Amino acid sequence: MDFLSEHQPEMLPGNRRLPATQGVLEAPHGTTIVAVTFPGGVVLAGDRRATMGNVIAQRDIEKVFPADEYSAVGIAGTAGLAVEMVKLFQLELEHFEKVEGAQLSLEGKANRLSTMIRSNLGMAMQGLAVVPLFAGYDLDREKGRIFSYDVTGGRSEEHNFAATGSGSIFARGAMKKLFRDDLTEEQATTLVVQALYDAADDDSATGGPDVARRIYPIITVITEDGFRRLTEGESSELSRAVLQRRLEEPDGPKAALL
Amino acid sequence: MSTPFYVSPQQAMADRAEYARKGIARGRSLVVLQYADGIVFVGENPSRALHKFSEIYDRIGFAAAGKYNEYENLRIGGVRYADLRGYTYDRDDVTARGLANVYAQTLGTIFSSAAEKPYEVELVVAEVGETPEGDQIYRLPHDGSIVDEHGSVAVGGNAEQISTYLDREHRDGMTLAEGLKLAVQALSREPNGTQREIPAERLEVAVLDRTRPQKRKFKRVVGRQLARLLEADGAATEAESAEEAEESGEE
């Protein structure tokens, strides 16, 4: 934000002097975020675990945030920095909308996030990387879109589905087998729960649904009507349904062989 | 060498005030008033691009009469102030009172600085509360004073006459349709006592609706929704406002 950098530069993440550190700094890290498009919108979801080395730092962290009315960000990487980045991103979108009287295009929002990640490169080199996943409903093209990033701020649009974080490889594998072009909103939300389950199954840093503590993934849906976060009840129902099936088939639904 | 004429400070200030008042009086008036579910802004505005009303923050709205470039400047300043406050501290720490104070300081400094011409603007800063008792409306005249208003307020050219009319007719707990109707009636009264017609497309209407589920309570009322509200009879307003709440919830 130009005004902020002139007025109070110390408020911006990129402008802080980094203390010299020895070895890897231990700070809570967020893990898996998944996104999938369906005709009419996009679903963005994340597990609830934050890890610090081999310790579970937090069981119920929230890693998916609305960016504005028609987009959302899911964060993987250093939790503290990522949350600040999201806060600043939300502020920028809202500020632009109020001053200009119109929303930024989805493309514009994605580019802005890219610049913000790049400004964190110094931290990323010291092991404090932030790698978000950005999803939104494009009002001009009338469809849901997903953007993924690398630590240097490189931006690429993903088609159909995407994942980021330590469990992303497993989640991507699951989504690859389950994705279809004609998913309904409900099927898409089930798909992300399946993908997160598989990620938690094979990645120790990703948390699965915690039935005992009633901690379930955060699932958000963005359509023409705007951003909506599934209620605790809806999310728990989806997770329980998936869990129930997994009791019979621990590896999840089987895809056709040929 | 010529000696400048002596002008007494009283005279200088009176001249500046006169200058600003005349500038404001050239613009069209606008009305801000409380209704049961919030605060409604109504004004006559032939332009659809240059707004008189705008969102400042979650619960705070801004209205201005006078010179566009001057109040636009103040508006952007206000948005920056609010966003910076909210980012540094918390969203709840941005209040209409704080914002009104900043505006008063700015306007006051400009008004009394000999180097600058006084701003020809009159502002209204309104904040919608959880209940009607929590609503706050501040009027800021050109000289940097703050007037705490209740119920209704009018600024701009014909403000005095409109205010008198509003004070007489406004009551607490009006529905949106009733409030809007009253505001339009007040705005369409000519100084000579006759009424003129203001078509819906020349009206700019916005609300701070406390029943909106989102954090940001500001919303422009345009097109079909505005036409429906203007047509609504006093009797049918109950159902109307329920529908209204639903509609804004969908967005």
For residue range B67-116, list pLDDT tens digits in order: 999 999 999 999 999 999 999 999 999 999 999 999 999 999 999 888 88
At B237 the pLDDT is 44
For strand A218-223 and strand B53-57, is the pairing parallel, antiparallel, or unpaired?
Answer: unpaired
Show the domain range for A197.
Answer: 2-11+27-247
Is any Cβ of chain B less than 8 angstroms from the Cβ of A84? no
| Cβ–Cβ gap B79/A98 under 8 Å | yes
Which pLDDT score is estimated for B3? Answer: 77
Look up the pTM and report it: 0.85
ipTM of the complex: 0.81
A31 in catalytic set: yes
Q: Structurally, how many domains does chain A consist of?
A: 1
CA angle B243, B247, B248 (to 5 degrees): 120
Residue B89 has phi, psi (to 5 degrees) of -105, -100
Q: Identity (one letter) of the amino acid at A173?
A: G
DSSP-assigned states of every residue in A25-88: PP--EE--EEEEEETTEEEEEE---EEETTEEEESS---EEEEETTEEEEEEEEHHHHHHHHHH
Write down the pLDDT at residue B245: 46
| pLDDT number for residue A220 | 96
Rounded to an integer, what distance in angstroms lies between the CA atom of residue B127 and that of residue B58?
9
Q: Are B122 and B130 in contact (CB under 8 A)?
A: no
Q: By the 8 A CB rule, do A182 and A39 touch?
A: yes
Q: How far is CA A187 from CA A74, A175, B223, in A?
A: 20, 12, 36
**Cβ–Cβ gap A94/B83 under 8 Å:** yes
B146-204 pLDDT, tens digit each: 999 999 999 988 888 899 999 999 999 999 999 999 999 999 987 777 788 888 888 99
* One-letter identity of residue B226: L
pLDDT digits (tens, 9 = 90+) for B30-69: 999 999 999 999 999 888 888 999 999 999 999 999 999 9
Are A113 and A57 spatial neighbours (Cβ–Cβ below 8 Å)? no
Q: Buried b / exposed e across B59-94, counting CB within 10 Å, b at 16+?
A: bbbbbbbbbeebbbebbbebbbbbbbbbbeeeeeeb
Secondary element (H or E) of residue A174: helix A168-178
Mind telling me how many Å the CA of A239 is from chain B's nearest CA? 27
Write phi, then psi, for B76 (nearest 5 degrees): -65, -40
* pLDDT value of residue A127: 82
Interface of B with A in 87-106 (CB under 8 A): 87-88
| Active-site annotation holder among A31, A32, A164, A190 | A31
Rounded Cα distance between B166 and A225, Å, is 38
Return the structure tokens found at A237.
Answer: 């129902």
Flag whether A94 is in a domain.
yes
Contact A3 B80 (CB under 8 A): yes
- What pLDDT shows up at residue B248? 45
Q: Give CA–CA dist B118/B199, Å, rounded.
A: 33
Query: Are B31 and B162 spatial neighbours (Cβ–Cβ below 8 Å)?
Result: yes
Tell me the nearest-neighbour CA distance from A90 into chain B, angstroms: 10
Tokens of A211: 């039935």
Q: Which residues contact B235 (CB under 8 A, 6 or more apart)?
A: none
pLDDT in tens, chain A (258 residues): 667 667 766 667 666 666 665 655 677 887 899 999 999 999 999 999 999 888 899 999 999 999 999 999 999 989 889 999 999 999 999 999 999 988 999 999 999 999 999 988 888 888 888 999 999 999 999 999 999 999 999 999 999 999 999 999 999 999 999 999 999 999 999 999 999 999 999 999 999 999 999 999 999 999 999 999 999 999 999 999 999 999 999 999 998 888
Dig out the tokens for A121 from the structure: 């490169």
Q: Residue with structure tokens 């952007």?
A: B76
* Distance between A105 CA and the closest CA of chain B, angstroms: 18
How does the average pLDDT of chain B come out, rounded? 88
Tokens found for residue A72? 């959302």
Collapsed DSSP state (helix, strand, coil) of residue A5: helix
CB contact under 8 Å between B83 and A226, yes or no, is no
Between B58 and B26, the higher pLDDT residue: B58
HEC per residue, chain B: CCCCCCCCHHHHHHHHHHHHHHHHHHCCCEEEEEECCEEEEEEECCCCCCCCEEEEECCEEEEEEECHHHHHHHHHHHHHHHHHHHHHCCHHHCCHHHHHHHHHHHHHHHHHCCCCCCCCEEEEEEECCCCHHHCEEEEECCCCCCEEECCEEEECCCHHHHHHHHHHHCCCCCCHHHHHHHHHHHHCECCCCCECCCCHHHEEEEEEECCCCCCCCEEEECHHHHHHHHHCCCCCHHHHHHHHHHHHHHC
CATH number, position A158: 3.60.20.10
A201 torsion bin: left (phi>0), alpha (psi -120 to 50), beta (else): alpha
Question: Is residue A123 situated within a structural domain?
Answer: yes
- Taking an 8 Å cut-off on Cβ atoms, the answer to whether B87 and A11 are in contact is yes
Chain B residues in contact with A3 (beta carbon < 8 A): 80, 84
Is B86 part of the contact surface with chain A (CB cutoff 8 Å)?
yes
Q: What's the pLDDT at B234?
A: 47
Instruction: Find the Cα–Cα–Cα–Cα dihedral A152, A153, A154, A158, rounded to 10°.
Output: 130
Pairing between strand B38-44 and A64-68? unpaired
A243 assigned to some structural domain: yes
Instruction: Read off the tokens for B80.
Output: 């920056």
| Contact with chain A for residue B56, Cβ under 8 A | yes
Kindly tell me the burial class for residue A227, based on how many C-beta atoms sit within 10 Å of its own C-beta (0-12, 13-18, 19 or more). buried
Q: What class, spelled out in words, does domain B24-250 have in CATH? A: alpha beta
Mutate to test the interface with A, among B58, B59, B71, B80 (most CBs of A within 10 A): B80
pLDDT at B213: 87
